[in-house]
């Protein structure tokens, strides 16, 4: 019998490390300061700042909103640090590259060296749609030929985000790519929670990333759609009329609470329950989540806790 079975207060999963890159914030601490200060982190582009390859007709459309949340340094990467050649880095989706940096930072924040950690470390992660390949690689047959089609596929397909991270950081637990659209990162945390509770791994890295390129691009507003007409997102405001998509990535490091306490890890929070479901057909449209379905998932998490 474990101590957590004798003492339910020790039952749960601890968040012992975290890292992220966000619009206007290079790390979690800067994001917190921006939230506390009510900072508007969406970037608004002038005509001169917009990517020159954007269709002129689209740029001139009065409903084209020249705004997006962007992250700094998405085009920069220390390839040698992660055991990549410059050619390999060039054909790799920035979502994979930046997530590697975030994963390393999260493990560092947790005080974990994968090469000396006594146990297995799992990875549960997902990415957004790959816009890098069609915009930067697909039309360059010379680059694809030099790198090789298999290497290009590994560097750009969603399926490889978790296993690529495990390979580059020498993580030997389960490695699972998660793809559930907007809920990807939360579902990754949910899967990591279950893996730790069932002792499939001893530490888990869970998160997600979404980077649209070119970053200096906007979107076409359509009345009744999900996008904001002015590039501003106004949650909990009577004037709220839509959202603004942005680039960002984040990851947390999870550990069984009893072991985190025993190892004197920094504990940011404790997860005692999770809930996962689907709305089925009980919603207004495919892209409109059901309030009842979300409430049911919350109730499941409360019941488990």
Residue 259 is part of a domain; what is its CATH number?
3.40.47.10
Together in a domain, 83 and 93? yes
Residue 239, in any domain of the structure = no
pLDDT score for 66:
97
Rg (CA), the chain: 21
Confidence at 287, pLDDT banded by 50, 70, 90:
confident
Together in a domain, 203 and 117? yes
Is the pLDDT confidence value at 4 over 70? no
Together in a domain, 281 and 270? no
Together in a domain, 263 and 291? no
For 92-144, the pLDDT digits (tens) are: 999 999 999 999 999 999 999 999 999 999 999 999 999 999 999 999 999 99
Helices in the chain by DSSP H: which ranges? 3-6, 28-37, 56-60, 86-90, 94-109, 132, 141-147, 149-156, 161-169, 184-197, 257-262, 291-304
Task: Find the domain containing 26 and state its range.
Answer: 12-41+73-212+247-274
pLDDT score for 224:
84
Please identify which residue in the block is written with the tokens 């060039």.
90
Residue 205, in any domain of the structure = yes
Together in a domain, 254 and 289? no
pLDDT score for 1:
46
Q: Let me know the angle formed at the C-alpha of 17 by 11 and 23, rounded to the nearest 5 degrees.
A: 130
Residue 57, in any domain of the structure = no
Together in a domain, 269 and 287? no
Residue 232, in any domain of the structure = no
Residue 230, in any domain of the structure = no
> Taking Cα atoms as reference points, which of 169, 179, 192, 82 lies closest to residue 127?
179
Q: Is 73 left (phi over 0), alpha (psi -120 to 50) or beta?
A: left
For 141-179, the pLDDT digits (tens) are: 999 999 999 999 999 999 999 999 999 999 999 999 999
Together in a domain, 179 and 263? yes
Q: Do residues 102 and 22 make contact, with C-beta atoms less than 8 angstroms apart?
A: no
Structurally, how many domains does the chain consist of? 2
Average pLDDT over residues 262-291: 93
Question: If you ran DSSP here, which 8-state letter would residue 227 be given?
Answer: B
Confidence at 305, pLDDT banded by 50, 70, 90:
very high
Is the pLDDT confidence value at 5 over 70? no
Together in a domain, 180 and 264? yes
Average pLDDT over residues 242-255: 97
pLDDT score for 253:
99
Together in a domain, 198 and 302? no
Together in a domain, 153 and 35? yes
Together in a domain, 133 and 113? yes
């Amino acid at each position: 019998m474990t101590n957590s079975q004798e003492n339910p207060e020790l039952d749960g999963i601890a968040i012992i490390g975290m890292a992220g890159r966000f619009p206007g914030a290079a790390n979690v601490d800067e994001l917190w300061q921006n939230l506390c200060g009510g900072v508007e982190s969406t970037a608004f582009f002038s005509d001169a700042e917009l990517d020159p390859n954007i269709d002129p007709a689209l740029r001139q459309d009065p409903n084209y909103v020249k705004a997006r949340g962007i992250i700094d340094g998405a085009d920069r990467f220390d390839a040698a640090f992660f055991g990549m050649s410059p050619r390999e880095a060039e054909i790799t989706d920035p979502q994979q590259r930046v997530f590697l940096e975030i994963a390393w930072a999260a493990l560092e924040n947790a005080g974990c060296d994968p090469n000396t950690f006594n146990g297995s470390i799992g990875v549960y992660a997902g990415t957004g749609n790959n816009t890098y390949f069609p915009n930067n690689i697909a039309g360059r047959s010379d680059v694809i030929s030099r790198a090789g089609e298999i290497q290009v596929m590994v560097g750009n397909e969603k399926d490889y985000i978790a296993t690529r991270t495990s390979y580059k950081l020498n993580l030997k637990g389960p490695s699972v790519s998660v793809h559930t659209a907007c809920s990807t990162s939360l579902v990754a945390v949910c899967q990591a929670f279950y893996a730790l509770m069932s002792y499939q791994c001893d530490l888990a890295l869970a998160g997600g990333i979404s980077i649209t390129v070119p970053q200096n691009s906007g979107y076409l507003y359509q009345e009744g759609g999900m996008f904001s007409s002015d590039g501003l997102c106004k949650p909990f405001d009577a004037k709220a009329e839509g959202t603004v998509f942005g680039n960002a990535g984040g990851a947390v490091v999870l550990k069984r609470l009893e072991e985190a306490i025993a190892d004197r890890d920094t504990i940011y929070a404790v997860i005692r329950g999770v809930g996962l479901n689907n709305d089925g057909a009980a919603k207004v449209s495919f892209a409109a989540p059901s309030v009842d379905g979300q409430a049911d998932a919350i109730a499941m998490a409360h019941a488990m806790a």
